[in-house]
Structure 1
């Protein structure tokens, strides 16, 4: 079953976020300590109004367990959704932290897609991706977008096969990413 995430899913969602975004998780949590990263990611999931909030997450649940997630939001909401994260990072670290802008405008942005390794190869990622794409289309946005790490050849092939086209290169938390989009049919 794919459903909207809730605050109660936070402890299961945090490791899936960390697994997918690595260095970006360090940036968003202000630490490199794995236990602290997971704790802080889970905290953001329980909150509202930020990019990692349960409000922006769909989960795939099997046997009462979250086995996959997709985090999405409209591009024009990206800067607003990063502000609570910046404020919290200032509180945790005592300094202002720069968060690289990953998207903007009239698009539906796939921030994070992650499946528990034990459930890989079962089509869960594709199912979550399609559920997210459908949601963006219902919102009436012009395109579905994502960032694909340039060093991840498998993800690059998958997204191109699914109709995503690179439109620019972005630097995010020190890595190089292809910003890719797939227009919605109007």
Structure 2
């Protein structure tokens, strides 16, 4: 069976959380209040299994082949970004940490928070399969790419264009958008 997309379930947390953290890096540290990747991935796994946050299974598509997960995409409406970040802000406040989370998404777009392919499955064009699946769901699909990230080449090949820059978690990102099929 060829690779296909399916909605994530809470049971996908063990696959998804480390891959999400490996992809979002410093943003994961900022969201979770954890200084290391392992701690951030643990917190992300807990949030993944819960509804109502940006990294929830509800906002995630899993790319799989023969029932084996190969990659994922986390996406949500930009207009819901503030509400979806509130559970992370609450965690930060509980830990006595600053609860500022820089906005990434903008209203009017379906925001692609995370797109990742497992290391063993890279080089097969699966990132493009994930990106196309996301774009089919959106009139406008938006994402951020950190300066110097090689994924920028994939996004350009898939028709994403720069729409400005932002600083998030102390790093500079280019905001990209792409018109979708609607």
Indicate the SS of the match to 2:172: strand
2:31, 2:101 within 8 Å by CA — same for their partners in 1? yes
* Equivalent of 1:151 in 141, 148, 153: 148
**Could you say what secondary structure the match of 2:79 adopts?**
helix
TM norm structure 2 = 0.92
Conservation of the 8 A alpha-carbon contact between 2:78 and 2:105 = yes
1:122 has 2:128 as partner: no
- Cα deviation 1:130-169 (Å, max 9, x = unaligned): 1111122xxxx4x1111111122x2222212211111110
Q: Secondary structure at the match of 2:110?
A: strand
Structure 1 residue runs without a partner (length 5+): none
1:5-20 alignment runs, 5 A limit: 5-20=8-23
SS of 1:135's partner is coil
- Is 1:56 the counterpart of 2:64? The answer is no
Q: How large is the RMSD of aligned CA atoms in angstroms?
A: 1.4
In structure 1, what is the equivalent of residue 32 of structure 2?
29
The runs of at least 4 aligned residues of structure 1 exceeding 4 Å deviation read: none
CA distances 1:92-138 after superposition (whole Å, capped 9, x unpaired): x22332111001111111110011111001121111111111122xx
Query: Matched residue pairs, number?
Result: 179
Partner of 1:46: 49
Partner of 1:178 in structure 2?
174
Distance 1:181 1:95, change over 3 A: same
Q: Is the 8 A contact 2:109 2:141 kept in 1?
A: yes
- Residue 34 of structure 1 and its aligned partner are, at CA, apart by 2.9
**Structure 2 gap ranges (5+):** none
**Alpha-carbon distance in 2 for matches of 1:125, 1:148:** 14
Q: Say yes or no: does 1:84 pair with 2:87.
A: yes
